[in-house]
């Protein structure tokens, strides 16, 4: 019998930052998805832009260089799939900016998800969440806070 297909989701940079920084208001949601990805339930797709963006996102403090190895390891995890910013993605992103009043970096993430036919994007960005779903060349990307399937119980707090 063939393996059950993995659920493919797209993560915005702030989801990775919530996990990397252990942000109290984000960690539980991110950790649930991350654990399920480790178990093969999810594949997390993100843009190569994310590698640089997590270092110094607008509105967030710059990451301490001491976290360099942590950041590198995050993006080398086998359940993470990186997608480059191509001309096609950039042109889709341009249209997302024009049609939805979304900032260019955010538009690149949405366009990448759409180009990969990923209908579910995880983000904590209130502006993006309020605009969901976003149509990109006729493909709808639904943006919501990270949420796992609940298939793997999280450890109880001490």
pLDDT tens per residue, range 96-142: 999 999 999 999 999 999 999 999 999 999 999 999 999 999 999 99
Q: Is 141 exposed, middle or buried (0-12, 13-18, 19+ CB in 10 A)?
A: buried
Q: What is the pTM (predicted TM-score) of this model?
A: 0.89
Domain ranges, ordered by start, for the chain: 7-144
CATH fold, domain 7-144, is Rossmann fold (3.40.50)
> Residue written as tokens 């298939």?
151
């Amino acid at each position: 019998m063939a393996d059950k297909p993995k659920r493919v989701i797209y993560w915005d940079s702030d989801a990775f930052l919530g996990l990397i920084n252990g942000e109290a208001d984000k960690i539980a949601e991110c950790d649930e998805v991350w654990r399920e990805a480790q178990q093969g339930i999810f594949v997390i797709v993100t843009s190569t832009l994310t590698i640089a963006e997590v270092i110094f996102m607008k509105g967030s403090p710059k990451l301490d260089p001491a976290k360099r190895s942590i950041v590198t390891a995050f993006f080398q995890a086998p359940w993470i799939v990186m997608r480059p910013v191509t001309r096609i993605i950039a042109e889709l992103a341009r249209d997302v900016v024009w049609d939805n009043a979304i900032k260019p970096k955010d538009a690149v993430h949405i366009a990448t998800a759409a180009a990969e036919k990923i209908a579910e994007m995880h983000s904590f960005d209130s502006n993006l969440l309020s605009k969901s779903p976003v149509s990109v060349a006729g493909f709808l990307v639904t943006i919501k806070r990270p949420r796992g399937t609940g298939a793997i119980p999280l450890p109880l707090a001490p």
